[in-house]
Amino acid sequence: MPISYSTRHLPVSFLFIVSATVGALFVTPLHAGVSRVDDDEVRRVDDDRPRTAPRGDVIRSRGTVTSVLTPDQFLLDGRTIVRLAGIHGPIADEPKRIGDDYYGADRLRALRELVEGKPVRLEFGTYQKDGYGRVLAYVFLEDGTYVNLRMVELGHALAACTPANPRDCRKFIEAQKAAVAARRGLWSADDNVATAAPAPGARDLIPVKVQGVLDGDTIQLADGTVVRYIGIDAPEEDQLYVSGSIADQAMRYNRVLLENRRVWLEYDLERKDPRGRDLAWVWFEYNGVLRLAQADMVRQGFAWVAVFPPNTRRLNMLLQAQQEAIAAGRGIWKTE
């Protein structure tokens, strides 16, 4: 069983075959016997998911923060809920915990110290509101402090930029890398900082057979086990920023990579999500070298990074892949 691995692009010849196969698959039926899993419950960054058009009521661009609600939300002028765009602040009712601190008071206290009772200026991306009616904004203090970025720099929030509002994605990614390296905030626990993990060895990997691909970030094994990819989110048809058939392309690319193939699962610290699905890093072999499926999906623009502690083992690989995809304008990052 191969134990070398690669973070490089797949060869052009392989990608040509994949592209041709993906195109051909548009006229073929979906995998018989495998039902699609709706991922509406476990999406960890769907707070930013716009389910309504960007037009609507006029939104105030200035105001005073009345109170902080969560590490990424506050009340503006006593009536408007503002959600910090491009980042994710863990909140108390989410399932992942590390001791008493990951969802402790530090996250909330940090945002309160930054903004509570202070005047702020709001800037907006493509979408000004999310599906819950909250304002999505990039927030600045009077002294120029960029609140969204500062929360990531302090390690109190995660980079969670999406194609809906991709502004400053590179800044958030670089700030998160620096916070990880300095072990700030969320990244201070040793269990969280596994982002430069070595190549997986044979004893770390579990060989399995993939029966079918359910979507761009979920597969089903031959024994019926459903595996949700750690570390990424793939587009779904109900997300307004998905252009044309990009969600279907993501699923089909994933299918070409893995369906009916032998793969290897690498588990991180948490092995199950709230719906009972396995959480794993998924490796496949190409020319005798192990490749990370998540990184390939992100690099080709068919998914974006959504890594949450403590499952951070391959974070650096994913961040690098996303930077490549954004720079090249691939898939979900394509600009007209």
Q: Would you name the residues annotated as active-site residues?
A: 228, 236, 277
Percent helix / strand / coil, the chain, rounded to 5: 30, 25, 45
User: Could you tell me the maximum CA-CA distance found in the chain, to the nearest angstrom?
Assistant: 60
Contact 242, 49 (CB under 8 A): no
d(CA 21, CA 25): 6
Contact 302, 332 (CB under 8 A): yes
The DSSP line for 274-314 is TTS-EEEEEEEEETTEEEEHHHHHHHTTS-EE---TT--TT
| 193-223 core/surface letters (b: 16 or more CB in 10 A; e: else) | bbbebeebeeebbeebebbbbbbbbbbbbee
CB-based contacts of 136, cutoff 8 Å, min separation 6 = 48, 50, 83, 85, 124, 125, 127, 128, 129, 130, 165
| 284-298 core/surface letters (b: 16 or more CB in 10 A; e: else) | bbeeeebbbbbbbbb
Amino acid identity for residue 50 in this structure? P
CB-based contacts of 145, cutoff 8 Å, min separation 6 = 114
d(CA 144, CA 68): 19
Collapse the DSSP code of 76 into the 3-class scheme (helix H, G, I; strand E, B; otherwise coil) and give the result. strand
Q: E strands within 200-253?
A: 205-215, 218-221, 226-229, 232-233
